[in-house]
Amino acid sequence: ADKVFLVLKPTQANSSIRIYLDEKLITSENDGADVKEGIINLQTDKLYNLVDLEDGPREHILKIEFLTPGIEAFAFTFG
């Protein structure tokens, strides 16, 4: 897949996660619509766009760092 989505629910104000692709902070070249400078600031529970690979699907390692305790994750989807 060249897109990765995750349903997330913040449990407090100013909740955020950090996204890494292949052990490096994701860049604007491959980040999803909800990512800004490698960070997603969670405002509400919804489906967040984490990754959007411009060069199409390939094998990668995705790492998500939860910067705020208590964030709930529900479902990964790929497109």
pLDDT of residue 70: 96
Helix-strand-coil split of the chain, %, nearest 5: 0, 50, 50
Angle made by CA atoms 74, 41, 38, in degrees to the nearest 5: 95
CA distance 45 to 24: 26
- Kindly indicate the confidence band of residue 55, based on its pLDDT and cuts at 50, 70 and 90: confident
Q: Inform me whether the pLDDT recorded for 58 exceeds 90.
A: no
Q: What is the pTM of this model?
A: 0.92
- pLDDT tens profile 1-48: 899 999 999 989 999 999 999 999 999 999 999 999 999 999 999 999
